């Protein structure tokens, strides 16, 4: 196969002659036109994304770091705690985690200060020993201390590139009033290519992954379906978990190479319905759920009301920080027609019941696992995520930030 793209080859179907010269059954035009088989397109080199979303980790002193490890370290099998640290670290040394590499959550130490600079001790080989990995120095770039890292990693028999930029910064944690030092890790990257479709049409695509991997459920594939040279976030960008895309009149299952080296499209035998638009003014997809009291419900049951969908979790710090504001919003507008549906992720029923009772969250709640059917339908990939649905059943706002003004505009009349 060629290195750039391989055209889909249609299967040739031979009609067998029947006895008594009976005419062979003719294929319909639709059947003849529908492509079959698979096509594979390769990608170019990865390009690091050094803006936008970054993993943000608080810097901790040694005591707080050890308390974190004792409390949470046993819960995550991918977590590798520090078992040996370099000698001679100063009292200023701070520690953290979320150095994602090879499917492991690795830890690190940072020593130094703004006058003499900072040194980074990363557990790059994932053995918990910070003494057998070379220390690295931050550089001051545009007033901020940053460290750019490029590595070649192994996954079975595959060698793959990983690039990331680490930046020392400050942020105010949820529920706090003062900023604290943090490490921001930019490890997302893209790989691009072009598909050649059966009709000769060329469709550019872009894979977006992290830490050298591109096929996790939350990673994305962008298809330039309208050929305008861009990837519209609402209509042309798909999560890997969504699994299929419609190109013209054909539905294709798509599969991403784990390290983003290629994209495979396989023609499906039936045309699947387009996915929900989720754009402002589009109909909100209906769904059914059972609330924590055991009552069956549907989103469409709330037609005529303004509905706020709240995708959240008790485990989610930013979600918990937003609860008082949601309670105030509900108390202010419920009598005017506001309903909230809470969709918790991962937590146990007892944990959610105790939390909503303590915080007086008096609206229906349900629980589903990570990447559950409702989250998949609404393409949720971060928490909290909010959707405001108007009384006519259309989406008026899809946001992970403030939604008060949107609700007020619909109900303050």
Q: What is the mean pLDDT of residues 240-251?
A: 93
Q: Report pLDDT for 412.
A: 86
Question: By mean pLDDT, which of 60-64, 111-115, 192-196, 315-319 is the weakest?
Answer: 315-319
Q: What is the pLDDT of residues 87-133, one digit of tens each?
A: 999 999 999 999 999 999 999 999 999 999 999 999 999 999 999 99
Where are any strands of DSSP class E within 123-218?
A: 136-137, 139-141, 144-155, 158-171, 180-186, 188-196, 202-210
pLDDT band at 399 (very low <50, low <70, confident <90, very high): low
Is residue 219 scored above 50 in pLDDT? yes
> What domains does the chain contain, in order, with CATH numbers?
1-275 (no CATH), 288-411 (3.40.30.10)
Nearest to 395 by CA among 308, 285, 284: 284
- Dihedral in degrees, nearest 10, Cα atoms 86, 91, 97, 99: -60
What are the angstrom distances between the C-alpha of 227 and each of 55, 194, 257, 272? 32, 11, 24, 22
Q: Report pLDDT for 351.
A: 96
pLDDT band at 401 (very low <50, low <70, confident <90, very high): low
Q: In the chain, what percentage of residues exceed pLDDT 90?
A: 75
Is residue 280 scored above 80 in pLDDT? yes
Q: Report pLDDT for 34.
A: 61
pLDDT band at 186 (very low <50, low <70, confident <90, very high): very high
Instruction: Give 293 or 172, the one with higher predicted confidence.
Output: 293
Q: Report pLDDT for 391.
A: 96
Q: What is the pLDDT of residues 317-335, one digit of tens each?
A: 889 999 999 999 999 999 9
Query: Which range among 35-44, 127-136, 365-374 has the greatest average pLDDT?
Result: 127-136
Please, which residues have CB within 8 angstroms of residue 44's CB and are 6 or more apart in sequence? 191, 192, 193
Both ends of the chain: CA-CA distance in Å? 63
Q: What is the pLDDT of residues 287-301, one digit of tens each?
A: 999 999 999 999 999
Model confidence, pTM: 0.77
Number of other residues whose CB lies within 10 A of the CB of residue 129: 15
pLDDT band at 234 (very low <50, low <70, confident <90, very high): confident
Across the chain, mean pLDDT equals: 89
pLDDT band at 400 (very low <50, low <70, confident <90, very high): low
Q: Residue 22: helix, strand or coil by DSSP?
A: coil
Q: At what angle do helices 317-333 and 404-411 cross, to 10 degrees?
A: 20
Taking the C-alpha atoms of residue 172 and residue 182, their distance in angstroms, rounded to an integer, is 9
Residue matched to tokens 């977590």? 79
Report yes or no: 371 and 219 within 8 Å, Cβ to Cβ. no
Nearest to 217 by CA among 345, 100, 348, 375: 375
Is residue 28 scored above 50 in pLDDT? no
Is residue 5 scored above 50 in pLDDT? no
Question: By mean pLDDT, which of 11-15, 318-322, 353-357, 379-383 is the weakest?
Answer: 11-15
Number of other residues whose CB lies within 10 A of the CB of residue 169: 14
Nearest to 359 by CA among 383, 333, 324, 329: 324
Q: Report pLDDT for 193.
A: 98
Based on the number of CB atoms within 10 Å of its own CB, is 287 exposed (0-12), middle (13-18) or buried (19 or more)? Answer: middle
pLDDT band at 22 (very low <50, low <70, confident <90, very high): very low
Q: Residue 88: helix, strand or coil by DSSP?
A: coil
pLDDT band at 6 (very low <50, low <70, confident <90, very high): very low
Instruction: Give 382 or 309, the one with higher predicted confidence.
Output: 309
């Amino acid at each position: 196969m060629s290195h750039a793209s391989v055209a889909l080859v249609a299967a040739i179907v031979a009609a067998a002659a029947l006895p008594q010269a009976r005419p062979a059954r003719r294929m319909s035009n639709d059947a003849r036109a529908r492509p079959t088989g698979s096509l594979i397109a390769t990608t170019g080199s990865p390009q690091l994304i050094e803006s936008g979303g970054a993993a943000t980790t608080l810097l901790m002193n040694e005591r707080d770091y050890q308390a974190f490890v004792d409390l949470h370290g046993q819960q995550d099998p991918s977590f590798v705690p520090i078992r040996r640290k370099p000698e001679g670290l100063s009292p200023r040394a701070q520690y953290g985690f979320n150095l994602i590499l090879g499917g492991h959550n690795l830890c690190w130490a940072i020593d130094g200060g703004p006058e003499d600079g900072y040194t980074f001790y990363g557990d790059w080989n994932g053995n918990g020993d910070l003494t057998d990995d070379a220390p690295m120095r931050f550089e001051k770039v545009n007033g901020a201390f940053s460290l750019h890292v490029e590595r070649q990693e192994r996954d079975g028999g595959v060698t793959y590139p990983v690039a990331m930029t680490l930046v020392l910064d400050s942020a105010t944690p949820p529920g706090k009033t003062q900023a604290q030092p943090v490490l921001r890790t930019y490890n997302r990257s893209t790989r691009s290519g072009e598909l050649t479709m059966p009709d000769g049409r060329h469709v550019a695509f872009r894979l977006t992954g992290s830490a050298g991997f591109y096929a996790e459920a939350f990673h994305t594939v962008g298809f330039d379906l309208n050929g305008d040279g861009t990837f519209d976030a609402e209509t042309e960008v798909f999560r890997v978990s969504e699994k299929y895309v419609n190109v013209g009149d054909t539905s294709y299952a798509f599969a991403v190479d784990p390290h983003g080296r290629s994209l495979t499209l396989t023609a499906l035998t039936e045309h699947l319905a387009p996915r929900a638009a989720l754009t402002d003014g589009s109909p909100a997809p209906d769904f059914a759920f059972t609330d924590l009291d055991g009552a069956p419900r549907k989103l469409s049951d709330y037609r005529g009301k303004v509905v706020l969908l709240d995708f959240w979790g008790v485990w989610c710090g930013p979600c918990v920080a937003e609860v008082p504001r949601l309670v105030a919003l509900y108390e202010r507008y419920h009598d005017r027609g506001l309903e909230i549906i809470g969709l918790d992720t991962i937590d146990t029923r007892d944990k959610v019941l105790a939390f909503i009772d303590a915080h007086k969250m008096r609206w229906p709640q349900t629980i589903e696992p990570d990447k559950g059917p409702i989250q998949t339908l609404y393409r949720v990939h971060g928490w909290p995520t909010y959707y405001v649905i108007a009384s006519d059943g259309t989406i008026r706002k899809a946001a992970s930030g403030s939604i008060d003004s949107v609700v007020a505009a619909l109900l303050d009349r």
